[in-house]
A and B are shown apart, each in its own frame.
Chain A
Amino acid sequence: MPGLITMDDLTNAEIISILDDAERLLPVARGELYLPLLKGRILGNLFFEPSTRTRMSFETAMKRLGGDVVNLGDVKSSSVVKGETLFDMIQMVDGYTDIIAMRHPRQGAAQYASDSANVPILNGGDGAGHHPTQTMLDLFTIRRAHGKFEGLNVVLAGDLRYGRTVHSLSHALTRLGCNVTFASPESLRMPEEIVSDLKESGAEVVETDDLFGQIDAADVIYMTRIQKERFPDEDEYAKVAGAYKLHARDLDGAKPEMIIMHPLPRVDEIDPSVDSTRHALYFEQAFNGVVARMALMCRLLNVEVPADVNEAGGVI
């Protein structure tokens, strides 16, 4: 059954239609309206590596829609430690659930699971591969802030090599007509195959190591975490991390409507002084994970989101 493994699984029209569904589901996500569209359905949450937002927002999304969730729990206390293959694990969970959300440290695990399963798989991150449900919530956040995609200047900054969120996002943004700039240290540049795919599809992408030079023209700055373990020594890390850290004082020349996003967790790359500026949107972005995942689960389970949710829903 089709799932969501990479953004290539959705056409532009499908992306827009799912974002429209998400927009209508906002009162349900906020807990203002009861709309059990997925009553009787069970989500299997298979997180083979740590996750806070993705796992919790999937669980919240399913429960807000009246469905239920089973969790793999701690990998260390599961059959994974006994050497069970992903294939066998999926056969089992496929029988228990109607849809599976998964994260796995190995790249390609989501496609592998999808080829092994009958129920739809939602890729919540596979190694340094893709994270398309994050992309859907990112797109939702951008569209709510700017009302469009076409012509927006979006800067993706930080660790573009290992950051799976920016891999999926860059594909979607260029397809939807955004101008994309990659700002990263030399050693953490966007993987060559992604840049060449984007260029082959006709997108113009700019690569730079200068984040601060991009701020004034940006409509969106998407920050990612630079991980210490990617660097040979602490000094090198400190030097690079400092060049990719935003303070409120750096934003003086920014457009008033420019937004700063981050998939979270942040460590040092956004100073808390930014939180109180009009540009900070990362906490709202994290909330949007619930509504975007609600819309995605409805779509993959072939459940239509009513045109008028207030008429269809009831009080909590």
Chain B
Amino acid sequence: MSQEGNMRRVTAIKNGTVIDHIPAGKALSVLKMLGIGGDMSNPVSLVMNVPSKKMGGKDIIKVEDRELTQGELDKLSLVAPDVSVAIIRAYSVAEKLEINLTEEVVNVARCTFSNCITINSREPLPHRLVVTRREPLELRCRYCGKPQDIDGLIDSLL
């Protein structure tokens, strides 16, 4: 199916955010990471596993009437660093945003190591995961130094 066909699976939105080029099957993780769930009143459209020339297959999310902030989007660097994000205003792309992988990911996910000091949820300091390599992505906990299980991070989101 053509790229145009993909986009027509769901209707164009008037205002909001479109997240495209999500690796196939990762859309639910992206929603979880952005804290977008059933308790939100804005309409959210989701297509999964649609063909893509560039990626083979991809997912797309459209969030209506909400412009995601750069801070929210940067969280995606952990699961989907190469997504394209467009802010839509009056049916047109008003802005294109890029995901930035910061040097340190603060208070997004807790360390996945079972004997880390941060496992005690009453400890008040921020959860800090340091980017030690970008390709392939490697993060280590600032405190215990353990490399993180990247796939497991989705279950450790705060």
Contact = CB atoms under 8 A, between A and B. Distances in A.
Given A85-B123, A87-B125, A107-B113, A112 B118 contact: yes
Contact of A112 (B115, B122, B123, B146): B123
A108 B141 contact: yes
A116 B119 CA distance: 16
Given A86-B123, A111-B142, A193-B146, A104 B115 contact: no
B143 A108 contact: yes
A86 B115 CA distance: 14
Interface centre among A83, A87, A128 (most CB of B within 10 A): A87
Interface residues of A, number: 21
Nearest to A84: B122
A39 B141 CA distance: 38
Contacts of B142: 108, 111, 115
A109 B125 contact: no
B120 A127 contact: no
A190 to B, nearest CB: 14
Interface in A87-134: 87, 104-109, 111-112, 115-116, 126-130
B128 to A, nearest CB: 9
Contacts of B124: 85, 87
Contact of A109 (B111, B117, B122): B117
B116 A107 contact: yes
A6 interface: yes
B37 interface: no
A108 B140 CA distance: 11
Contacts of A87: 123-125
B147 interface: yes
Given A85-B122, A116-B125, A106 B146 contact: no
Nearest to B126: A115
Contacts of B118: 108, 112
A112 B147 contact: no
Interface string A124-162: 001111100000000000000000000000000000000
B146 to A, nearest CB: 7
A83 B121 CA distance: 12
A87 B123 CA distance: 6
Given A87-B125, A107-B117, A108-B111, 5 more contacts: A83-B122, A87-B123, A107-B116, A107-B145, A108-B141
Interface of A: 6, 83, 85-87, 104-109, 111-112, 115-116, 126-130, 193
User: Ordered nearest first, which 9 A-B pairs have the shortest CB separation?
Assistant: A108-B143, A108-B144, A107-B144, A106-B117, A108-B117, A109-B117, A112-B117, A111-B143, A112-B143
12 contacts: A86-B123, A105-B115, A107-B113, A107-B146, A108-B117, A108-B118, A109-B143, A112-B143, A115-B143, A126-B117, A129-B145, A193-B145
Interface of B: 111, 113, 115-120, 122-125, 140-147
